[in-house]
Copies of this chain bind each other. A is one copy, B any other.
Amino acid sequence: MAIKTREEYLNSLKKLRPNIHKFGKLIEDATSDPATRRTVESHAKAFDASNDPQYALDFTCRSTFTGEKIHRWNSMMDDMEDVIANAKLKRWMYRFTGSCTGGLCVGWNAQNVMWNVTAMVDEECGTEYQGRLKKWILSAEQLGLVVAGALTDAKGDRSARPSQQENPDSCVHVKEVREDGIVVSGYKAMICGVAASNEIFILPGGGYKEEDKAYAVAFVVPRDIEGLTIVEARRPSDTRELEEGFDVPETGISQAFLFFEDCFVPNERVFLCQEAKYAGKVIEYFTANYRACIGACVAGQGDVMIGAAALMARTNGLAAATFANKMVDMAINNETTYGMGIGAMAMGRKGPGGMWVSDSLLAHANKVHVATLPYETKRLCQDIGGGMVETGCFPSSADFNDPDYGHLVQKAIKASPKFSAESRARAARLSEWLTLGAGVPGCMHGGGSPDGAKLVVRAATPVDEYVSYARKIAGITEEIPEPEKKK
């Protein structure tokens, strides 16, 4: 099977019904509208890589089911190597685009998570979800689909459960079960890469109890399904994407809110429907791999920040080596989230359906670093780059090229006699974009908050086992238990 190309990918998007909005306007063609074309371009680079011998090994693989060559982001992750390959692909994508390409990530993880979960549900409930899922995966493989994934519900009041919300649409839920499918409604928030995707994989937003069972639903829909309204979210400096000039790169990220209103999903695309007790399993398996791999994302962005900092140093007229200490600190941050994520994969195990599940404790401890270390890396990037980077503090591309006074701006920005003023300006804008502009990917809360990750670390740390080691070494003979909670 031929590996889908950039052109085929772009054409597949052009065919979709326009249902994405931003700035109060409907986007007719996501591949060319300035608000979305950068994220499409970012995803298109993955198709380039799949078709480029230099990267094909990392971007393609053999289908578990058919043995045919497929895009890696449509593949099953049977073992540790497959999850490591997932991490590698993400690091590459950040290096190519500087930011997040969510359409290559969440759907991929979702199909693997649901493979494990449907194995359990089918076994215990007599359902036949896995068969449906396999059929869909086979088609996704063949079509080389880009599949966004959506977990985070709009949620409403944080102190109440889904079924207790004033507005039942605060979370996506099953409104009606028909013979041939289900009707769903509700809002998903902050979903990455939708504008660059062919389809959207919907998973539940949390673990649920029986009373919230309507919210325990997993399915996949075309991006342009009837009843789905998509509104793009803002990002820092996003209006620049509507401007001309060099103040923003040609790649980008997008995030959206999804509004489902009475959407019909046929049965062959439904993989969980009101089996409440498995929603928690979905989250557990999803976060384990996702939080293991997200370290590769921020590492890849960090690699680009090292490069951007070196560009600034050099276009300022200095050697990058002047800042070697700071670059080493940046590199250590990058390798920490990357390497610890790999560690989580290496300590993982096969899930009930045979797909690999990374170690939860290591993955969640890693998430805490993902939520903190990149802030240091960004600070160092700004530290090396200087005031032009820190707040993007220099005139716009329009001023740079102004016929009247542009020559003054250019002379003021010119630093190293070897490199052009524009190169310095572009390096500074890139650094700004990476550290406090539209390129910032949102990995602190993406895939769950650091506080949530710490709860998992807490639950997974066997304090009383550690107490027993300490007692033995200290020679304490009496038991020292935790006091009982006062009632």
The segment from A60-68, A92-100, A112-120, A141-149 found at the interface with B is: A92-100
Indicate whether A394 sits within 8 Å of B426 (C-beta atoms), given known contacts A157-B415, A157-B416, A307-B463: no
Q: Which residues of B contact A483 (CB under 8 A)?
A: 314, 318-319, 418
Is residue A177 within 8 Å, beta carbon to beta carbon, of the partner chain?
no
Is residue A21 within 8 Å, beta carbon to beta carbon, of the partner chain?
yes
Cα of A159 to Cα of B483 in the assembled complex, Å: 11
Q: Which residues of B contact A398 (CB under 8 A)?
A: 23-24
In the complex the two chains form, is B478's CB within 8 Å of A419's CB?
A: yes
Contact with B along A360-383 (1 / 0, CB 8 A): 011001101101100110110011
In the complex the two chains form, is B338's CB within 8 Å of A246's CB?
A: no
Cα of A457 to Cα of B331 in the assembled complex, Å: 7
Contact with B along A319-343 (1 / 0, CB 8 A): 1110011011001100110111111
In the complex the two chains form, is B387's CB within 8 Å of A158's CB?
A: no
Nearest chain B CB to A308 CB, angstrom units? 4
Is residue A10 within 8 Å, beta carbon to beta carbon, of the partner chain?
no
Contact with B along A392-408 (1 / 0, CB 8 A): 11111011011001001
- Residue A304 contacts which of B157, B236, B339, B470 (CB distance < 8 angstroms)? B470
Nearest B-chain residue to A423, judged by Cβ:
B476
Is residue A277 within 8 Å, beta carbon to beta carbon, of the partner chain?
no
Nearest B-chain residue to A395, judged by Cβ:
B231
In the complex the two chains form, is A387's CB within 8 Å of B338's CB?
A: no
Cα of A436 to Cα of B432 in the assembled complex, Å: 10
Q: Which residues of B contact A396 (CB under 8 A)?
A: 22-24, 234
Cα of A157 to Cα of B332 in the assembled complex, Å: 30
In the complex the two chains form, is B419's CB within 8 Å of A383's CB?
A: no
Is residue A54 within 8 Å, beta carbon to beta carbon, of the partner chain?
no
Number of copies: 4
In the complex the two chains form, is A454's CB within 8 Å of B187's CB?
A: no
Give the A interface residue count (CB, 8 A): 162
Q: Which residues of B contact A135 (CB under 8 A)?
A: none
Is residue A49 within 8 Å, beta carbon to beta carbon, of the partner chain?
no
In the complex the two chains form, is A379's CB within 8 Å of B375's CB?
A: yes
Is residue A53 within 8 Å, beta carbon to beta carbon, of the partner chain?
no
Is residue A480 within 8 Å, beta carbon to beta carbon, of the partner chain?
yes
The segment from A200-208, A264-272, A282-290, A443-451 found at the interface with B is: A443-451
Indicate whether A393 sits within 8 Å of B234 (C-beta atoms), given known contacts A97-B473, A318-B158, A417-B157: yes
Nearest chain B CB to A93 CB, angstrom units? 11
Cα of A247 to Cα of B399 in the assembled complex, Å: 24
In the complex the two chains form, is B320's CB within 8 Å of A442's CB?
A: no
In the complex the two chains form, is A331's CB within 8 Å of B414's CB?
A: no
In the complex the two chains form, is A365's CB within 8 Å of B332's CB?
A: yes
Is residue A273 within 8 Å, beta carbon to beta carbon, of the partner chain?
no
Is residue A294 within 8 Å, beta carbon to beta carbon, of the partner chain?
no
Cα of A446 to Cα of B49 in the assembled complex, Å: 42
- Residue A393 contacts which of B392, B405, B419, B442 (CB distance < 8 angstroms)? B442
In the complex the two chains form, is A255's CB within 8 Å of B393's CB?
A: yes
Given contacts A157-B317, A235-B393, A328-B457, 16 further A-B contacts (CB under 8 A): A158-B316, A166-B417, A232-B399, A234-B247, A236-B436, A237-B239, A249-B473, A259-B408, A303-B466, A307-B466, A314-B481, A314-B482, A328-B458, A332-B457, A371-B383, A375-B378
In the assembled complex, 17 residue pairs joining A and B whose CB atoms fall closer than 8 Å, in A order, are A152-B387, A156-B317, A187-B408, A187-B411, A257-B412, A304-B469, A308-B474, A314-B482, A318-B483, A319-B485, A320-B467, A331-B457, A339-B362, A346-B346, A390-B442, A429-B474, A436-B437
Closest 10 A-B residue pairs measured CB to CB? A307-B470, A307-B466, A339-B343, A342-B343, A387-B445, A239-B239, A343-B343, A24-B398, A346-B346, A430-B474
